[in-house]
A and B are shown apart, each in its own frame.
Chain A
Amino acid sequence: MTKSKREWYVGKPKYHEKIIQTILAVSAVLSVLITFGIVYILGKESLLFFKEVSIVEFFTSTKWQPLINEFGVLPLINSTLTTSFIAMLVAGPLGLFVAIYLSEYASEKARSILKPILEVLAGIPTVVYGYFALTFMTPLLRLIFGKDTVDIYNTASAGLVMGILILPLVASITEDALKAVPSSLREAAFGLGGNKLHTSMTIVVPAAFSGISAAFILGLSRAIGETMIVALAAGAGSNFTFNPFEAAETLTGYIVRISGGDVSYNTMDYNSIFALGLLLFFITLSLNVLSRKLVRKYQEEYD
């Protein structure tokens, strides 16, 4: 190939180029088709669902039991938010602290050890976290608070473990945001006699505020869409409760349970999982869009 490179370059007809470019463009458009596919499929099945169910009932009733025509999605949303909120209580502060440490304090050597560890945490499949929730976290909670207080399936255990799952995500995006803060700002603060801690907390973190919010929102979005942990540890039956030690099924938990039992075609059950899927899709999509907007904001600020 080396000696004949020159020959290889000349005398090729141009239409090859055109064909190749077209193939590449078609590939790129495919991803757009996938998005349309998702919206179309979820929308089509959901329409069938909302022919039978009023949207008002869907969003206001507090009972979800499709078999006896109770279609209030609130219990599922409520438990989804409970688990996600608990997850953010863990991943938010911890992720922020880890990011501050990595970006402001850690030596090069410490970083080279820590980053891979966070990557490993991020790379563990969620079903393994589900196992961890059921075999470690739940027994631990029941040991601390008593077996009568904590049900075997509960949203607290699922939420805490989910927090561990999204910790690396929150930490790495937050760290990027902190790193984007120009060092001139830090140096100015040092010049005014601020110590490192003071500088981090009063200059760097506020300056990276939009990036940190982006990380939190993305973490929340990931928690809302998380499935296997809640399927294994949070329980399997809709339950409108604010007690994190009780069992309550989430949106994703319901979808996976119903489809795991093999859904019959064109039944309310089948259509209902698509309606819930559509809801889930819109919630996570809007959070992701918001998160990207915030990231762009800080990139524009400091680039």
Chain B
Amino acid sequence: MKKIILLSVMFVSTLAVFASANSENSEASSSSASNSWMVESEDGILPGVNPINVKGDIITAGSSTVFPLSEAMAERFQDEGYAGNITVDSIGSGAGFERFTVTGETDISNASRPIKSKEIEAAKKIGRNPIEFRVGTDALAVTVAKSNTFIKDASIDELVKIFTAEKWSDVNPSWPDEKILKFIPGTDSGTFDYFVEEVFDKDSAPLLSAANVQMSEDDNILVQGITESPYGIGFFGYAYYSENKDILNILSIDGVEPIKENVDAAKYPLARPLFIYSDAEVMKSKPQVAAFINFYLTYVNEEVTRVGYFPADESVIAKGKAAWLEAMK
């Protein structure tokens, strides 16, 4: 008899979990935007946001480059009182757009490249019309390990050679006769797309068929690989370099260093915009999404440098704010 009890205890404890699983509905309660979160405007353009009064969940996914920035904004949003769930998945720009435009399962898509026309087509099929908000600027960082002493600068042509050649000495005879260990972001990432576009003139084949290429959607794995050998080289968003300044060296490109002045003056050849995308219908039916984007645009320039990117110009941010107001009409 005791043993039957044992058996049933096991069973009941399992049931208990089901019972305790609360049946909270995370749906937006209605399509009429509840504006209880609006407070006095911060910037004179957008209504101010009080995160304490924002209810409901927000789902975002996309670029691993934008990830640290969106994560910082989400953390600040929660810090200032937002009590709902906000997920930020770092899966690559392409996969992020997939979730946003095909399955429609995300509210906001993070991207380190502009949306492609075929992605807009796909979005239209599910009744979405992507709106672009620019949130910052990245200076794509080409990095080597601290222990690498022979390369400090590369021209775009040299980058092509470095990322396709087998040995360093094949690119420049004065460099060591050692394998070039290449660490590059996965093919689903906007960073990869951008690099192929800017450096390889849109043809990814030479880069992908090169010897000793390591790919990962996780930029941390790339950083780790590069730091461990003087013959490693790789590229990723600037924030991942900022976070690891003590173990990485960054190359200047065509003699231009990726510092704020050069990025602002558009001198650095590998500077690129960072975006978040959403849709007017989503923003209207889910006020929490509108509130978060509003909050994002209002405070992003206070956080962006700390995260390790460069602020977008005020006029560009203002464009985003105008788009927000347009969408909420």
The answer to whether A and B touch directly, with their CB atoms under 8 angstroms apart, is yes
**Within 8 Å CB of B205, what residues of A?**
68
Interface size band for A: 20 to 34
**Within 8 Å CB of B208, what residues of A?**
65, 67-68, 70
Using an 8 Å CB-CB cutoff, how does the interface string of B179-222 with A read, 1 for contact, 0 for none? 00100001110000000000000001100110111111110010
Which residue from B91, B218, B225 sits with its C-beta under 8 Å from A262? Answer: B91
Contact A1 B1 (CB under 8 A): yes
Among B13-21, B94-102, B153-161, the one that faces the other chain is B94-102
Contact B229 A261 (CB under 8 A): no
> Does residue A151 face the partner (Cβ distance < 8 Å to B)?
yes
Using an 8 Å CB-CB cutoff, how does the interface string of A61-72 with B read, 1 for contact, 0 for none? 001010110100
> Does residue B243 face the partner (Cβ distance < 8 Å to A)?
no
Which residue from A153, A262, A264 sits with its C-beta under 8 Å from B214? Answer: A153
> Does residue A260 face the partner (Cβ distance < 8 Å to B)?
yes
User: What residue of chain A has the Cβ atom nearest to residue B1's Cβ?
Assistant: A1
Which residue from B91, B92, B212, B221 sits with its C-beta under 8 Å from A239? Answer: B212
Using an 8 Å CB-CB cutoff, how does the interface string of A228-252 with B read, 1 for contact, 0 for none? 0000000111010000001100000
Contact B178 A148 (CB under 8 A): yes
Bound CA–CA A262/B211 (angstroms): 26
Contact B213 A264 (CB under 8 A): no
Which residue from A1, A70, A237 sits with its C-beta under 8 Å from B215? Answer: A237
User: What residue of chain A has the Cβ atom nearest to residue B187's Cβ?
Assistant: A67
Contact B217 A237 (CB under 8 A): no
User: What's the dominant secondary structure at chain A's contact region?
Assistant: loop
Contact B228 A68 (CB under 8 A): no
> Does residue A186 face the partner (Cβ distance < 8 Å to B)?
no
> Does residue A152 face the partner (Cβ distance < 8 Å to B)?
yes
* Known A153-B214, A236-B216; contact A261-B91, beta-carbon cutoff 8 A: yes
Bound CA–CA A257/B204 (angstroms): 20
* Known A68-B204, A148-B178, A152-B229; contact A237-B214, beta-carbon cutoff 8 A: yes
Which residue from A70, A237, A261 sits with its C-beta under 8 Å from B188? Answer: A261
Using an 8 Å CB-CB cutoff, how does the interface string of A57-100 with B read, 1 for contact, 0 for none? 00000010101101000000000000000000000000000000
Bound CA–CA A237/B225 (angstroms): 12
Bound CA–CA A70/B228 (angstroms): 29
**Within 8 Å CB of B61, what residues of A?**
262
- Considering the complex, which residues of chain B in the window 284-309 have a beta carbon less than 8 Å from any beta carbon of chain A? none
User: What residue of chain A has the Cβ atom nearest to residue B226's Cβ?
Assistant: A152
> Does residue A147 face the partner (Cβ distance < 8 Å to B)?
yes
Contact A152 B204 (CB under 8 A): no
> Does residue B89 face the partner (Cβ distance < 8 Å to A)?
yes
> Does residue B244 face the partner (Cβ distance < 8 Å to A)?
no
Given A151-B229, A261-B95, A265-B102, 20 other A-B residues pairs in contact with their CB atoms under 8 A: A63-B209, A65-B208, A67-B187, A67-B204, A68-B204, A147-B228, A148-B178, A151-B181, A152-B225, A152-B228, A153-B214, A153-B225, A235-B214, A247-B181, A247-B214, A261-B92, A262-B89, A262-B188, A264-B94, A264-B102
